[in-house]
């Protein structure tokens, strides 16, 4: 059973909406502030620490070497085409000469001796041209291998220039990370301190929904704007910080639980009339309807029965743990009802247990 008034329900809902609106606006404002800090712009890169003159010279030589290599490879393609053409001419002329020689041997004409010599010389010239084309290709191949080796050497030199910039870049990067984290910590830490003060001192205030929006904003700033920029150093710092935060959280949780138990033990020693005045009406009605004692926060329902056992016929009217009165009967109609009800649900008679009706 719910005892919260409908306007109060909608009021609480509206306060949560207001909390989210305030926190979102603060988050947007915080993002604008973070974007204007000196280190929020362009971050340093390894290219900033490279010797620009040496690198430009090497890159220029690489481009020139690549062009020369490309021209050489094209010359090789052209020379291979010439060689193929000359090889074909030589092969055709030699086949034609061999056929002609067979025909001459059949006729044995002396007048053809001069022609034999001329044709043989022509074939030899074609063979020489073919060999010249092969030599051109071989020379181009030598040039190509030389250019390829030069290309490898230039790439190695380029890599060495870039590699030499890595160590100073790492040092500058570490300094930048610390600077960025320090600036963000300087902006975020006051927010966390103010939020902690709000939680400790203003949680019961009527303006708590406004303070709650600031608390949500500060938590967002911590986990989104600060934690990702925490220096790592191989994971050691982040792991140690995580462990410290976990230990801090466990410390406050344990302390809070101990305070809660001590307070409950102290409350159990007080008279029931005083305990009733300290318990909010809506809270008491809700807890009793859920089977929880509003005084000691323990379940007062029957223990889970074993197989074959029967439940008790008489309902529980008092908490079995602290003796707090949970249900009583109307003085007029004897109807069993929640002890915090202000009026009997059957006859409307005012309840004698209503703290607001009691005179001190």
Summarised one tens digit per residue, pLDDT across range 153-164 is 999 999 999 999
pLDDT for 42 beyond 70: no
Q: Could you write out the three-class secondary structure of 277-310?
A: HHCCHHHHHHHHHCCECCCCCCECCCCCCCCCCC
The mean per-residue pLDDT over the stretch 146-150 comes to 94
- pTM beyond 0.75: the answer is no
Residue 181 in contact with residue 229, Cβ under 8 Å?
yes
Summarised one tens digit per residue, pLDDT across range 44-79 is 788 888 888 999 999 999 999 999 999 999 999 999
- 51-164 in CATH: which number? 1.10.287.1490
Question: Over the Cα atoms of the chain, what is R_g?
Answer: 48
The mean per-residue pLDDT over the stretch 249-275 comes to 85
Q: How many CA atoms lie within 13 A of 212 on its CB side?
A: 15
Summarised one tens digit per residue, pLDDT across range 189-241 is 898 899 888 888 888 788 888 888 999 999 888 888 888 777 776 677 778 87
Q: Mean pLDDT, the chain, as a whole number?
A: 82
* Sequence-separated contacts (24+) of 199-207 with Cβ below 8 Å: none
353 — pLDDT class (breaks 50, 70, 90): low
288 — pLDDT class (breaks 50, 70, 90): confident
Q: Which residues contact 94 (CB under 8 A, 6 or more apart)?
A: 123
User: So where are the chain's domains?
Assistant: 51-164, 236-269, 272-360
């Amino acid at each position: 059973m719910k005892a919260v008034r409908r306007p109060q329900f909608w009021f609480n809902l509206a306060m949560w909406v207001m909390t989210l609106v305030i926190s979102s606006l603060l988050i947007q404002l915080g993002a604008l502030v973070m974007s204007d800090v000196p280190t929020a712009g362009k971050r340093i890169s390894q290219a900033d620490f490279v010797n620009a003159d040496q690198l430009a010279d090497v890159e220029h030589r690489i481009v020139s070497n690549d062009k020369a290599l490309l021209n050489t490879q094209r010359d090789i393609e052209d020379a291979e085409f010439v060689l193929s053409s000359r090889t074909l001419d030589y092969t055709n002329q030699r086949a034609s000469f061999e056929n002609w020689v067979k025909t001459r041997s059949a006729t044995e004409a002396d007048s053809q001796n001069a022609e034999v010599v001329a044709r043989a010389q022509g074939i030899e010239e074609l063979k020489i041209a073919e060999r010249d084309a092969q030599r051109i290709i071989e020379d181009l191949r030598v040039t190509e291998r030389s250019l390829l080796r030069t290309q490898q050497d230039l790439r190695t030199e380029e890599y060495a220039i870039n590699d030499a910039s890595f160590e100073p870049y790492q040092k500058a990067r570490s300094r930048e990370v610390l600077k960025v984290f320090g600036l963000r910590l300087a902006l975020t830490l006051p927010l966390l301190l103010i939020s902690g003060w709000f939680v400790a001192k203003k949680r019961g205030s009527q303006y708590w929904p406004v303070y709650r929006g600031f608390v949500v904003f500060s938590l967002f700033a911590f986990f989104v704007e600060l934690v990702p920029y925490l220096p790592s150093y191989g994971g050691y710092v982040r792991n140690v910080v995580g462990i410290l935060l976990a230990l801090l959280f466990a410390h406050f949780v344990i302390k809070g639980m101990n305070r809660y138990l001590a307070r409950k033990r102290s409350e159990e020693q007080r008279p029931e009339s005083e305990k009733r005045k300290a318990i909010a009406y809506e809270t008491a009605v809700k807890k009793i309807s859920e089977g929880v004692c509003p005084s000691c926060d323990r379940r007062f329902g029957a223990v889970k029965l074993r197989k074959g056992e029967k439940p008790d016929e008489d309902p529980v009217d008092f908490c079995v743990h602290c003796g707090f009165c949970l249900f009583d009967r109307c003085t007029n109609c004897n109807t069993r009802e929640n002890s915090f009800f202000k009026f009997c649900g059957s006859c409307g008679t005012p309840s004698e247990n209503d703290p607001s009706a009691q005179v001190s």
